[in-house]
Amino acid sequence: MSPLRRRLLFGIPLALVVAGGEGFYTILRRMQNNDYDPHALPSPLVGHRPPAFTLPGLDGMQGFANTDLLAPPQPMLVNWFASWCGPCAQEAQLLTQLAQAGLEIWGIAYQDTAPNIANFLQQNGNPYTRLAADATGLTAINWGVYGVPETYVIDKTGIVRWRYAGALTPDLVESTLEPMLKQYA
Amino acid sequence: MRGWVFLLALLPMLAFAQPVTRDGVTLTQSQETRAEAIGDQLRCLVCQNESIEGSSAPLAGQLRMIIRQQVVAGDSSKSIMAYMVQRYGIFVLLKPPFMRLTWLLYASPFLALAAGFALFWLGRRFRAEPAAPLSAADRARLDELLR
């Protein structure tokens, strides 16, 4: 056996194992840093306007339709939530801070009732300028919503630019949401 | 008597004729079979390794209802799948379609086979030469050592 062959026989499998390990380690590290989620789905709605819908208001607030989202003066959020959803309560404070900082946030209550929503908003604060009720959850299916909370960024031309499934965190707002709002301002 | 025989002969037809109600939609047995076949190919978005047909998540129940409503309305299976893909992306398909993102996945068995053949061929080509037969002197020395 020539020395080169011996080296290759030893080196190639070793290199493959090292490369594989490096790959897995990268995945695990990024999962730990919250910048990679293997369960996250890309939303087919990104790059398009939301599908047609008209939803009634809730808790004395005005509902909205897809036609109300065609040309917001500034990029805005549409936040799907429910009173029965734990992570929604977690992100509520952050949403209130964002709303106080001037970000327009419209809410859609997913499969919920008026008394429960009133109670939820009283406890967790109300960041929403408008609040609609999707009691059946059928509009959510048309948006591709598969759980609450989900947050959509809508730009000034009414096009969805970003979808996040799960509770927003301060890190995420700083690393992704704020640059995106600036980009589309 | 003849009437009874006739009715008994018709009995197996019941399995096809009797409407079934699943997830709030009433449909015939053949429609239900088609709906199940569609649901079996779709991923439940909530519990991502289950099919819509096999999942107990509320969203999966709603999607089963939508599939059955569309089956009753006479939509083709292809258009029902397209309805789901439009909303949830290709991830909703348990069997990924062949496309730019997935070609490597489908090609990998053939690539592995090609790599195996390449290794086999290289191994044959670079096989070490067999050692020269021992000379008489070497043979004598070997016998000495092994004694």
Question: Which three-class secondary structure string do you get for A152-167?
Answer: EEECCCCCEEEEEECC
Find residues 28-67 of chain A whose CB sits inside 8 Å of chain B: 39, 41-44
pLDDT higher than 80, residue A13: yes
CA A141 to chain centre: 15
User: Domain boundaries in chain B?
Assistant: 2-92, 103-146
Using CA atoms, how far apart are residues B5 and B11, in angstroms rounded to an integer?
Answer: 10
Looking at domain B2-92, what is its CATH homologous superfamily?
Cytochrome C biogenesis protein (1.10.8.640)
User: Does any CB of chain A come closer than 8 Å to the CB of residue B63?
Assistant: yes
- Domain with residue A162: its CATH number is 3.40.30.10
Mutate to test the interface with B, among A141, A142, A150 (most CBs of B within 10 A): A141
Contact between chains at B85 and A44 (C-beta distance less than 8 A) = yes
Chain A nearest C-alpha distance from B13 (Å): 36
Return the residue of B nearest to A4 by Cα: B126
List pLDDT tens digits, range B117-126. Answer: 998 998 888 7
Q: Work out the pLDDT band at A41, boundaries 50, 70, 90.
A: confident
Q: Which residues of B touch A146 (CB under 8 A)?
A: 45-46, 59, 88
Structural domain total, chain A: 2
**Residue A85 counted as domain residue:** yes
Higher per-residue pLDDT: A104 or B136? A104
Indicate whether this complex's ipTM tops 0.90: no
Gap between the Cα atoms of A80 and A95, Å rounded = 12
Question: Do A129 and A154 belong together in one domain?
Answer: yes
> Number of residue pairs across A and B with CB atoms under 8 Å?
38
The burial of B28, by beta-carbon neighbours within 10 Å (0-12 exposed, 13-18 middle, 19 or more buried), is given as middle
Cα gap A103→A181, rounded to integer Å:
9
* In a shared domain, residues A24 and A73: no
Chain A: closest CA distance from residue B15 (Å) = 33
Which tokens go with A164? Answer: 């996040």
Residue A177 pLDDT > 90? yes
Give the model's confidence band at A131: pLDDT under 50 very low, under 70 low, under 90 confident, else very high.
very high
% of chain A beyond a pLDDT of 70 = 99
Closest CA to A75 of A171, A160, A166, A174: A160
Asked if A121 and A65 sit in the same domain, the reply is: yes
Contacts of B85 (CB under 8 A, 6+ apart): A44, B92, B93
Q: Are residues A115 and A155 in the same domain?
A: yes
Q: Is residue A128 part of a domain?
A: yes
- Look up the domain containing A105 and give its range: 54-183
Is B88's CB within 8 Å of A41's CB? yes
- Please tell me the least confidently modeled range out of A54-58, A126-130, B101-105: B101-105
CB nearest to A39's CB, from B48, B88, B126: B48
Between positions 76 and 135 of A, the ones with CB within 8 A of B are: 111
User: Chain centroid to CA B43: how far?
Assistant: 12
What Cα–Cα distance (Å) separates residue B91 from each residue in B42, B59, B94?
A: 9, 16, 7
**Is residue A47 domain-resident?**
no
Q: What is the chain B residue with the closest CA to A39?
A: B48
In chain B, residues with a C-beta closer than 8 Å to the C-beta of A142 are 87
- B33 CA: distance to closest CA in chain A (Å): 23
SS3 A130: strand
pLDDT in tens, A24-39: 999 999 888 877 887 7
Contact A137 B59 (CB under 8 A): yes
CA–chain centroid gap for B118, Å, is 29
- Asked if B87 and A41 come within 8 Å (Cβ–Cβ), the reply is no
CA atoms of A27 and B68, how far apart (whole Å): 39
Q: A48 in a domain, yes or no?
A: no
CA A157 to chain B, closest CA, distance in angstroms equals 21
Scored b (16 or more CB within 10 A) or e, B61-72 reads bbbbbbbbbbbe
Its pTM stands at 0.81
Contact in structure between A153 and A75 (CB atoms under 8 Å): yes
Cβ neighbours of B62 in A, within 8 Å: 137-138, 141
Average pLDDT (A28-54) is 88
Report d(CA A28, CA A37) in Å as an integer. 10
Asked if residue A101 and residue A76 are part of one domain, the reply reads yes
A61 and A100 share one domain: yes
Examine the domain organization and report whether A7 and A58 are in the same domain: no
Please indicate if any CB of chain B lies within 8 Å of the CB of A147: yes
Whole-angstrom CA distances from B107 to A3, B90, B119 are: 34, 19, 18
